[in-house]
Amino acid sequence: LNIIAKMQVIAKHLDEGVEFVSTDGIIIGRNVEIGQDTLILPGTILRGNTVIGEGCVLGPNTLIENCKIGNGVILNSVQAYDSRVCDHVKAGPFVQLRPGTVLHDGVKIGDFVEVKNSEIGVNTAVAHLTYVGDSDVGKGVNFGCGCVTANYDGINKYRTKIGDYAFIGCNTNLIAPVEIGENATTAAGSTITKSVPPDSLAVERAQTKIIDHWEKNFKRKKKA
């Protein structure tokens, strides 16, 4: 009976112009709405009160629950819950969108990124290996690899605000509450604990120390 019910739902969406390469592993709830010319790839699960726009590509291996997805969206190996994804967003693979996430038009979310309770502005790029939590991010922002918004001190959670066109360098830790101004840059490897004014560069690094001939001395001590 479950297989029959599943195929009835899929047949309904086929009649409405939704495309399926294969029905393997596809589960679609009865309350889900899907726009025409959207392609559903194997391993995709759509459930709850989810609404999908037109011309999207979902999957493979994507789970969407209680989300509103715009037009022309590509979600590859994404898990999304109680979130809103606007038009022409690309996300994946291996992305998690937790409740309260809003991705505005043209946002790009790359591999191994988690977004939680955050609003990300138009054309912002969060390319890879990044956590954005409890944050308000402007438009045209670029996150380098390995950035973290440190939002929790063990008791309370705090917000991070990032202005339009800011550049967040690789391996930046933003210790909330903190604000990064418009067009500001954080240097790679920095831990930012206070707000950065617009158009400024914030650098916070330990000074590099070079110890000459360390390898020889180290091996000599090990042999002794």
Which residue shows structure tokens 């210790």?
Answer: 175
Domain count along the chain: 1
Average pLDDT per block of 10 residues along the chain, 224 residues long? 84 96 93 98 98 99 99 99 99 99 99 99 98 99 98 97 99 98 98 98 91 82 66
Select from 130, 62, 191 the least CA-distant residue to 118. Answer: 130
Domain span at residue 123 reads 2-223
Instruction: CATH number of the domain at 183, please.
Output: 2.160.10.10
For 93, the token pair is 């693979």
pLDDT on residue 216: 83
pLDDT on residue 184: 99
> Among the options 13, 88, 104, 128, which is catalytic?
128
- 128 flagged as catalytic: yes
Give backbone dihedrals phi and psi of 5, rounded to 5 degrees, phi first: -65, -40
Residue 83 identity (one-letter amino acid): S
Q: Could you give the CA distance from residue 93 to residue 89 in angstroms, rounded to a whole number?
A: 13
Please list, in sequence order, all residues whose beta carbon lies within 8 angstroms of the beta carbon of residue 48, skipping any fewer than 6 positions away. Answer: 29, 31, 32, 65, 66, 67
pLDDT on residue 222: 67
Question: What's the whole-model pTM score?
Answer: 0.93
pLDDT on residue 4: 86
